[in-house]
Amino acid sequence: MLKSALETTKKHFIDVRKKISNIYKKSPRLFVIVSSSLFLVLIAITYFFVTRVRPNDDIFFLSSSNNAVFANKNPLFSVNFGKREDPNTQWVRFEAKATSQNPFEKDDSNFFTKVVKAIKPKSNYGIEMSLKGVNLSETENLDLGSKEETVKNVAEIIGTDEVKTSTELIDSGRVIGENSEEPVSKKTVLNKNVARGVDIEYQILSGLGLKEEIVINNLEEYAGDCINNFNECAVPLNEFTFDLKLDKGLELRKGWFTLKGVSTETYYFVDKDGNYVAHFLPSWAVDSLGEKTYEVSLNVNDKGNGNYEVKVTADASWLFSSDRMYPIRIDPSIIHDSKTEFDNGTFIRTASYEGARVELASSKTFESDSTTVGYWSLDETGGSGAYIKDSSPNGNNATPSGGSYNASGKVGGARTFSSSSDNIQTSSVNLGFTNGMTAEAWVYPTATDSSWNWIVSQWVNPNASTGSVFNLSYSTDYKPHFHVQGSAGGLHSYTATTAMTVNSWNYVAATYNGSTGVITIYINGTSVGSSTGTAGTINNVSLPVMIGKCPFDTIESVKGSIDEVKISNVVKSATQISNYYLNTVSRSQDEATSSYYRNGEYISDALDLNSTSSELDFSWVDSAANTTNGETPFSSTGLVGQWNFNESSGTTATNTGSCGASCNGTLYGFGSTGSRDAAVKSGWTADNRRWG
């Protein structure tokens, strides 16, 4: 058998050799060209498979001719670490090729357009980040009592607005983001002591992107006595400010991302054609005991020309809890991953959860609590006297003068102001401010007055030397402005650096911190500037609260609409303000009925709704028909036997299938079959039926 196989193979080989020889004799030039081409193709294929970059987590040194010190290269992205010309700077560059598969935006274009997008050449784009400051923020949320001022002073000492560090390559004994006790060898870039007790570590997610951890190490000084000696104590820092620089042609957008079954809003990067490049993962923090919090905000401030300021802030109350065990690790990471979870569905104000279910994302109006001293939702359609309800515990209802109800408010109804005399005013009230306050409102400006446009205020005179409290307004170029009158007569004021959008709803918030004298203004949940000031408590006098107009001038009034006005006697944190904005933009209004509802979408080719849904209306394409109950078949074709158990007595279970009475069933072992529910578990029942 073997001998025969060898003879056959030999014969075939001789035949092939003869054919090749004949080809060569007939056209030797063609033979050389074809054979050479095949040889070159073989070499090219071999070279490709040998040299191609595969998904990896390696980090390597670069030669001295490169601008960076270390690098990684994956098939879809590359990362550079450390500036060779400025070794004391914390710096990283993430570069990826754009792809038409954008997980954050639904592509409604036709098939031909999608094909053109897919085959159109894509460029590489880079994103550079550099830490520039580490500080302590949101201390107003801490219950520090008499230690508050001391903690702030210590934070100023150990915080920094000028980061100096080194960039080292080490073999770490752990994987970033994992709490496994099993030691591993993992190449890690370390920026050590970017601030006192704070390191930054980077690792590569093979095939996906860059994993970052901000490490707040354990310092013995955390337990030191800060009251008597600043030099022998320290406090952990929670605010990390980065400079973010985008390559020309790259854009930053907001979108939804699903991580471990939960959708949340995050930032992503696209080119000018909307092709996806990269995105930030949702941030979180974890201590050494594995206690995790997702109360970590990532806020971005546009500085123009592709430059941004990124602030990563961990919740101060969680960080300062006595339950915390250091080191604490904060995880803001950036990846290139065009895949999505949950059947590649698109999440629009919805979220996926473990257990394969989809729910509406959280959606809330302002909530009144013990810190709320005034809250006017402006949903009232009409009435007489003081019919504009104050939903705060103070109950300071207000009287409108002019203006009109607007059914198309941001949250339910709103109030529209068109003339210089239109306003809403309470009686004279003392709102009980002490050391801080927050003023918030939704504003839809359609034009500006000849001077300031007053949103809400407690004010008495233009000079504001005495007797006033606060006013929130905006300038003729639509930039929000905040005034606060100090109890000692000093005036605190600040105008934002960014303008509101005309003919659009803008969420405007302003805070004043009496401990520092600092005013911070926000538009749509993002800080647009802070003042520097002198500490001072707020002037506490009784004055009317006025909405939509300056109390002493007929030309400083709002032209447009105002909704959801709220005053609080605390300094709200950036996280609280951002969360409220994100919650509110998840709400919509029925244009036909003006009724208010929560809405969201989950778009998918297939969705298993499991067994229940609660208080939601779904629309879908049926793969079967709704027959209203389990006893009515969609089709009786081929149905031989069906027993519904609707009998009220006897021992016969009637068959409704084509088999008829010959397939009726007989009950055995039941003691009470004379009527329904004669005894528990003994016969027919109506009380426990599902249908029939």
Q: pLDDT at position 140, please? A: 65
Spatial distance between the Cα atoms of 551 and 484, rounded to a whole number of angstroms: 15
In the prediction, which pLDDT does 399 show?
94
Q: What average pLDDT score do residues 475-488 get?
A: 88
Please tell us whether the domain made up of 372-594 is placed in CATH 3.40.50.720. Answer: no
H-helix or E-strand spanning residue 186: strand 186-195
What pLDDT score was predicted for residue 595? 39
- Residue 374: predicted pLDDT: 93
Residue 21, burial from CB neighbour count under 10 angstroms (0-12, 13-18, 19+): exposed
Closest CA to 438 of 227, 140, 59: 140
Contact 270, 122 (CB under 8 A): no
List phi, psi (to 5°) of 181: -85, -10
Whether the pLDDT of residue 382 is over 90: the answer is: no
DSSP string, 397-460: -EEEES-EEESS-SSS-EEEE-STT-EEEEEEE-----SEEEEEEEEEEEE--SS-EEEEEE--
Residue that the structure tokens 């004391």 belong to: 88
Query: Which tokens is 118 given?
Result: 């897919």
Q: Quick one: average pLDDT of 94-109?
A: 76
d(CA 68, CA 70): 6
pLDDT of residue 11: 72
Q: What is the pLDDT of residues 522-539, one digit of tens each?
A: 999 899 999 988 888 888
Which two structure tokens, joined as six digits, stand for 203?
A: 């690792």
Report the run of H or E that residue 661 belongs to, with start and end: none
- Using CA atoms of 178, 181, 186, 192 in order, give the dihedral in degrees to the nearest 10: 80
According to the model, what pLDDT value does residue 240 have? Answer: 92
Q: In this model, does residue 138 exceed pLDDT 80?
A: no
The 10s digit of each residue's pLDDT in 422-480 is 999 999 999 988 889 999 999 999 988 767 899 999 988 765 556 788 999 999 899 99
For residue 111, is pLDDT > 70? no
Query: Contacts for 115-122 with beta carbons within 8 Å, 24 or more apart?
Result: 117/273, 117/275, 120/273, 122/97, 122/98, 122/271, 122/275
Whether the pLDDT of residue 391 is over 90: the answer is no
Summarize the confidence of residues 158-178 as an average pLDDT: 82
Q: Given this model, what pLDDT does residue 387 score? A: 92
Mean pLDDT estimate for the chain: 78
**Encoded amino acid at 513, one letter:** N
Reduce the DSSP state of residue 21 to 3 states and report it: helix
Q: Residue 628: CB partners within 8 Å, gap ≥ 6?
A: none
* Of 142-156, 206-220, 385-399, the least confident: 142-156
Rg of the chain (C-alpha set): 34
Of 109-123, 204-218, 246-260, least confident by mean pLDDT is 109-123
pLDDT at 33 over 60: yes
Question: pLDDT band for position 24 (50/70/90)?
Answer: low
pLDDT of amino acid 346:
38
Q: Provide the pLDDT for residue 416.
A: 94
Mean pLDDT of all residues in 199-216: 88
Q: pLDDT band at residue 607, thresholds of 50, 70 and 90?
A: very low
**Whether 324 contacts 252, CB under 8 Å:** no
CA distances (Å), origin 601, targets 185, 256, 266? 43, 12, 18
Span of 146-155, 497-506, 539-548, 678-687 with lowest mean pLDDT: 146-155
- Asked if pLDDT for residue 551 goes beyond 50, the answer is yes
Q: Is the pLDDT of residue 84 over 50?
A: yes
Of 250-254, 262-266, 543-547, where does mean pLDDT reach its minimum?
Answer: 262-266
What pLDDT, on a 0 to 100 scale, did the predictor assign at position 106?
66
More confident residue, 571 or 53: 571
Q: Where are the domains of the chain?
A: 2-51, 68-341, 372-594, 633-692
Q: Do 365 and 356 form a contact (C-beta atoms < 8 A)?
A: no
pLDDT at res. 284 = 81
Q: What SS3 state is found at 151? A: helix
b/e string for 86-103 if b means 16 or more Cβ within 10 A? eeebbbbbbbbbbbbebb
Q: What Cα–Cα distance (Å) separates residue 63 from each residue in 67, 84, 116, 299, 378?
A: 9, 10, 39, 36, 65
Residue pair 573/418 in contact (Cβ under 8 Å)? The answer is: no
Residue 608: pLDDT band (50, 70, 90) is: very low
Backbone torsions φ then ψ of 254, nearest 5 degrees: -105, 145
User: Residue 499: its pLDDT value, please?
Assistant: 94
**Does 631 have pLDDT greater than 90?**
no
